[in-house]
Amino acid sequence: MFNEFLSASHNIENLLLSPFEKTLNKTLNKIDSQVINEKEIAFNLKKVDGALSKLAQHQPLKTLINFIINLINNSQSQRKALTDELTHTYAEVKLLRTQLSESREQAAIDSLTGLLNRRGCQSKLQEFNINQTHSTIAIDIDHFKQINDSFGHAVGDKVIQLIANIIKQSISADDIAARLGGEEFIVVMHNKSIKIAENIAEKIRTSVEKLKLIQKQTNTYLPKISVSLGIAELDEEENWDSLFEKADKAMYQAKELGRNRCVISQTSCLV
Which residues participate in catalysis according to the annotation?
Answer: 183
CA dihedral 135→136→142→145, nearest 10 degrees, is 180
Residue 142: how many CA atoms within 13 Å on its side-chain side? 22
How far apart CA 258 and CA 212 sit, in angstroms, is 20
d(CA 140, CA 68): 79
Given the DSSP bridges, would you call strands 262-264 and 227-233 parallel, antiparallel or unpaired?
Answer: parallel
Q: Are 25 and 94 in contact (CB under 8 A)?
A: no
- CA 188 – CA 240 distance, rounded (Å): 10
